[in-house]
Amino acid sequence: MHLVMFDIDGTLVKSYDFDSECYKLAVFDVLGVEVNSDWGQYQHVTDAGILREIIESRSLQNEYESIFTEVKKHFILRVRKYISNHEVLEITGASKFLSVLASRRDVKISLATGGWSETARMKLEAAGINHSNIPIASSCDHYSRIEIMRVAETRSGEHRFKSKTYFGDGSWDRKASKSLNYNFVAVGSRITNSKSIHDYCDSQEALRCIGL
């Protein structure tokens, strides 16, 4: 059995830009803080991880729960508003490729996103990606991407895999994959990698990157 895991923003859904903007605005709504969108500077590039670091850098740990709740609430509202006023597209061929994988008896699919579960599901649904039967782990489960990936793997229901592959679009995805000894496939053009695809139009190319 082979595990194939996907990030969401920029990997399955064309949501990286608006998601980042909504996040920055949500933090500003609550804390009045301008967030540096050079995400690579943060130790944990996840919704929970970035917010955790912002809170700690301002010695607001005693207010963590209330800040976390308020930022998340504002973020959900901003993403919902964006989606209601804009078309949200999948990365070309993503739905079809997921269907190809789902039809195979030797593959387990899961999703591991640095975003919060509520907004992740909203974006998938807006892009027309059916994820009802796919296990998902998110920033609601942990602030560390490595731990999120571990949760997603556990939720796949299998414990032994011939191979584990992660599709992502950020340097932090590649770093986490290396730490967990996952085969990493870069999607899009934001980063360079030995294995990469522009999109999922050529499902055979994507399968070759997995080793199938």
pLDDT digits (tens, 9 = 90+) for 188-198: 999 999 999 99
Domain residue ranges of the chain, discontinuous segments joined by +: 2-15+89-210, 16-85
pLDDT value, residue 40: 86
Task: Please state which CATH class domain 2-15+89-210 belongs to.
Answer: alpha beta
> How many angstroms separate the first and last alpha carbons of the chain?
11
pLDDT digits (tens, 9 = 90+) for 61-118: 899 999 999 999 999 999 999 999 999 999 999 999 999 999 999 999 999 999 999 9
Q: Within a 10 A sphere around the Cβ of 204, how many other Cβ atoms?
A: 9
Angle at 32 between CA 57 and CA 137, to 5 degrees: 65
The two most distant CA atoms of the chain are separated, in Å, by 51
